[in-house]
Amino acid sequence: MKFKSPPVNSLSLDFLTEFCISLEKLENDRACRGVIFTSAVPKIFSSGLDITEMCGKSTEHYAEFWRAVQEMWLRLYSSNMVTIAAVNGSSPAGGCLVALSCDYRIMVENPKFSIGLNEAQLGIVAPFWFKDTFVNVVGHRVAERSLQLGSLHTAPEAHRVGLVDELVPEEKLQEKAAAVMAQWLALPDHARQLTKSMMRKAVLDRLVAHREEDIQNFISFISKESIQKSLRMYMEMLKKRKS
Amino acid sequence: MKFKSPPVNSLSLDFLTEFCISLEKLENDRACRGVIFTSAVPKIFSSGLDITEMCGKSTEHYAEFWRAVQEMWLRLYSSNMVTIAAVNGSSPAGGCLVALSCDYRIMVENPKFSIGLNEAQLGIVAPFWFKDTFVNVVGHRVAERSLQLGSLHTAPEAHRVGLVDELVPEEKLQEKAAAVMAQWLALPDHARQLTKSMMRKAVLDRLVAHREEDIQNFISFISKESIQKSLRMYMEMLKKRKS
Amino acid sequence: MKFKSPPVNSLSLDFLTEFCISLEKLENDRACRGVIFTSAVPKIFSSGLDITEMCGKSTEHYAEFWRAVQEMWLRLYSSNMVTIAAVNGSSPAGGCLVALSCDYRIMVENPKFSIGLNEAQLGIVAPFWFKDTFVNVVGHRVAERSLQLGSLHTAPEAHRVGLVDELVPEEKLQEKAAAVMAQWLALPDHARQLTKSMMRKAVLDRLVAHREEDIQNFISFISKESIQKSLRMYMEMLKKRKS
């Protein structure tokens, strides 16, 4: 599955909706046993949640958007398919979550590409289920430090702390992803799926149990004037940087 | 304690019963404060659960067998003695569980010896308490990947991912195990035992609370025709390999 | 904040009370966003809980002392400020807990300085919340082994197992601590504080929920004649070593 939503593959409501529909189709297609996620946009895997969806919109819109973010993660993290992230560009915040939710992460070894849950840098807090997913990959200590600092790790650093499993030169990425996929598909589906579910169930159940509460938290947080102001300033900065 | 049940030290019902009795005797012997587990069979530490106990038997037999597997782990993982695995051969599945349940693991550095919870490769799923024991040793990420792939790690790999604590040449194994035992026995028993119990209680309690349910799960899983078929094919393959 | 309670900065009831008052003052001072903990006593960061408070005293005294130890940890581990331990000397037991409770640990690279939760060596058991704090930093396996053996890790070892984040030459310690502080203070306070709280809440809540029970446990444990005897012998040994 190639993300192609220029300029930066941000996770807008449209993107998330389409993502979930595509994933469900593949999930129900018995011929499809695995999926590789990569980007068709140069230098960016995914820039994360679309800030325009969180800025100056109605409460209803925030609720709808957040439910779509949750849905994306619930489907991806619990997918019965083998999921591999072939990270061919930078991947902050929600983009990092997509990678963290896969079974395996391969990243282009370019030190200009970075990845991480950098929410704290924007003055916001990663939701508990972003955190749980992160802890399951890198452990409690690395997650605590990285989340508090809102760290964006360069590819080599990301590999060193365990955020990605492997680094490869850009031209070898697809080949490597296919090889890893073949290795994972060599296992009997049923046993692999039950094993994956056993490993991830506790964290998935936690969001399912607190889903509405999590939406309300998001709305009340994002509706604060101070947060809206931070996001507007951040968007201004992004616009200026472009021009 | 030397495992001597040729050809491959598989954990049959007889083996498990004898193992529990021996362990209990040592546990009650105040002169015995620690035990080193190793194998008297060349190249194999333990090949894990005996597949013949899980193939073509009655429901009652499956229940009895599974209760014995649980009992072995409950006793070993909660042992008041210092437990050291001197792994002098390959150790898949249940054999790996025995090693994981000890306080310390030393393995012969022979790269032909491998160790791991490879259940997924046989089309079956490691029980949740195998998984919990594994996560307590290697952390969530290594466990997730290794369990999904049913990985058998060579000795050097096992050391690198933290599955074993130390590698030594075969001729140094017993000497090294004795030295490590001396180091652990230098601690006051009471404080060491309470500390061990504090670290392992949550995971032990979880099986105790769900023991009957876990037996029922095992029976209904193992009784499936598809699973029985996989196991029969696996046994055929083993037989052919021997001849 | 410089610990200056010669000869060894032991955590006496007075020390703990003063520590909590100072911390609360800083916490309420809006101009203070971070604090660096270090020692004014050569070669010792803190020698941990003051054994004289636990030896030959009344039940009421034990209760008061233990409540003060809990209070210190609850305040430090949940502090809204950025907390950095600049460990310029050895730091066993309770001294190690102080360092573990900070956001970041820098230690002088002198291999004569050691740090660890060595309670088991004294015949006592680290409380569950010492253990929880330790596991959050180094993971379950390192914690299990280190706690069972009551290990005091030399500075290089402590760095290798993740107990401290960084080693520096003694003369660079304050400079490095200030640089790390600047890095952490670059983050917006509110987002950083909420993130920290999300990471630490489960472990903090656990002590809050069991606080009285934990005090009773401490009293009944420390009142045992065998424990009192161990502590008296340990104190004798310390006195002899001094003279």
Nearest to C226 by CA among C130, C127, C122, C128: C122
Taking an 8 Å cut-off on Cβ atoms, the answer to whether B148 and A196 are in contact is yes
Q: Which residues of B touch C149 (CB under 8 A)?
A: 183-184, 187
Pick among B138, B144, B148 to test the A interface (most A CBs inside 10 A) = B148
Contact C191 A120 (CB under 8 A): yes
Residue C238 pLDDT > 90: no
Among chain B residues, the shortest Cα distance to A100 is held by B141
DSSP string, A100-163: HTSSEEEEE--TT-EEE--GGGGT----HHHHHHHHHHH-HHHHHHHHHHT--EEHHHHHHTTS
Neighbours of chain A (3+ CB pairs under 8 A): B, C
The verdict on whether C110 is a catalytic residue reads no
Chain C residues inside the 8 Å CB shell of B198: 125-126, 128, 131, 147
Q: What is the mean pLDDT of residues C144-172?
A: 98
Q: For A202-232, what is each residue's pLDDT tens digit?
A: 999 999 999 999 999 999 999 999 889 888 8
**CB contacts < 8 A (A, B):** 59
Nearest CA in chain B to A163: B141
Residue C37 has pLDDT above 90, yes or no: yes
What separation in angstroms does the CA of A211 have from each of A67, B62, C240? 8, 40, 62
Q: What is the mean pLDDT of residues A65-94?
A: 97
Active-site annotation holds for A118 = yes
R_g of chain B computed on alpha carbons: 17
Measured between beta carbons, the chain B residues lying within 8 angstroms of C230 are 188
Task: Tell me the shortest Cα–Cα distance from A127 to chain C, in angstroms.
Answer: 9
Report whether A79 contacts A213 (CB < 8 A). Answer: no
The SS3 call for residue B91 is strand
What would the mean pLDDT of A43-62 be, rounded to a whole number? Answer: 94
Tokens at B172, concatenated? 């140094």
Catalytic residue among C119, C147, C163, C167: C119
- Kindly report, residue by residue over C99-156, the tens digit of the pLDDT: 999 999 999 999 999 999 999 998 889 999 999 999 999 999 999 999 999 999 999 9
Dihedral through CA C87, CA C93, CA C94, CA C96, nearest 10?
30
Q: Where are the alpha helices (DSSP H) in chain B?
A: 13-28, 59-77, 93-100, 128-138, 140-149, 155-160, 173-185, 189-209, 211-222, 225-242
Nearest chain C residue to A221 by CA: give it. C191
Mark yes or no for CB contact B145/A104 under 8 Å.
Answer: yes
CA–CA min distance C137, chain A (Å): 5
Nearest residue to A198 via CA among B115, B135, B63:
B135
What is the rounded distance in angstroms from the CA atom of residue B56 to the CA atom of residue C176? 67
Q: H or E element: which one contains A92?
A: strand A89-92
Instruction: Give me the half-sphere count of Cα atoms (radius 13 Å) on the Cβ side of residue A240.
Output: 6
Note the pLDDT of residue B243.
67
Residue C243 confidence class, pLDDT cut points 50, 70, 90: low
The one-letter amino acid code at B36 reads: I
Q: What is the pLDDT of residue A223?
A: 94
What is residue B239's predicted lDDT score, i.e. its pLDDT? 81
Per-position DSSP letters for A146-202, written without gaps between them: HHHHT--EEHHHHHHTTSSSEEE-GGGHHHHHHHHHHHHHTS-HHHHHHHHHHHHHH
Q: What's the one-letter identity of residue A17?
A: T
List the single residue in B104, B190, B199 with the smallest CB-CB distance to C123: B190
Please answer yes or no on whether B194 and C125 come within 8 Å at the CB atom: yes
DSSP string, C61-91: HHHHHHHHHHHHHHHHHT-SSEEEEEE-EEE
Report CA-CA distances (Å) from C231 to A209, C73, C97, C115, C171. 48, 23, 20, 20, 36
The answer to whether the Cβ–Cβ distance between B104 and C128 falls below 8 Å is: no
* Catalytic, out of A34, A48, A89, A94: A94
Q: What are phi and psi of B9, to 5 degrees?
A: 50, 45
Subunit contact C148:B198, Cβ cutoff 8 A: no
Integer Rg of chain A from CA: 17
Interface residues of C toward A, Cβ cutoff 8 Å, are: 103-104, 135-139, 162, 165, 183-184, 187-188, 190-192, 194-196, 198-200
Contact, A208 vs A132, CB < 8 A? no
Residue among C133, C138, C144 with most chain B CBs within 10 A, to mutate: C144
Q: Which residues of C touch B (CB under 8 A)?
A: 119-126, 128, 131, 139-141, 143-145, 147-150, 230
* B191 with C143: Cβ contact below 8 A: no
pLDDT of residue C155: 98
The closest CB to that of B125, out of A139, A183, A194, belongs to A194
C94 is an active site residue: yes
Looking at residue A184, its pLDDT comes to 97
- DSSP letter (8 states) at residue B42: T
Secondary structure element (H or E) that encloses residue B168, with its range = strand B166-168
Interface probe for C, chosen from B105, B131, B137, B199 (most Cβ of C below 10 Å), is B199
| Catalytic hit among B48, B76, B89, B118 | B118
User: Which stretch of A36-45, C156-165, C167-176, C227-236 has the lowest confidence by average pLDDT?
Assistant: C227-236
Residues of chain B with pLDDT under 70: 242-243
Flag if B196 and C148 touch (Cβ within 8 Å). Answer: yes
Pairwise CB contact (< 8 Å): B137 & C139: no
Residue type, B239: K
Q: List chains touching B (3+ CB pairs under 8 A).
A: A, C
Q: Which residues of B touch C148 (CB under 8 A)?
A: 103, 184, 187, 192, 195-196, 199
B94 is catalytic: yes
pLDDT, residue B2, reads 78
Please state, as a whole number, how many other Cβ atoms lie within 10 Å of the Cβ of residue B233. Answer: 12
* Cα angle value A105/A109/A114 (rounded, 5°): 75
Strands A114-116 and A153-154: antiparallel
Q: What CA–CA distance (Å, rounded) separates B132 from B200?
A: 10
- Written as one letter, the residue type at C139 is G
Contact A199 B120 (CB under 8 A): no
Contact flag B191-C122 (C-beta cutoff 8 Å): yes
B190 neighbourhood in chain C, CB within 8 Å: 123
**Spatial CA neighbour of C139 closest among B85, A144, A77, B84:** A144
Task: Report CB contact under 8 Å: C148, B183.
Answer: no
ipTM (interface predicted TM): 0.93
pTM of the full structure: 0.95
Sign of CA dihedral C136, C138, C140, C143: negative
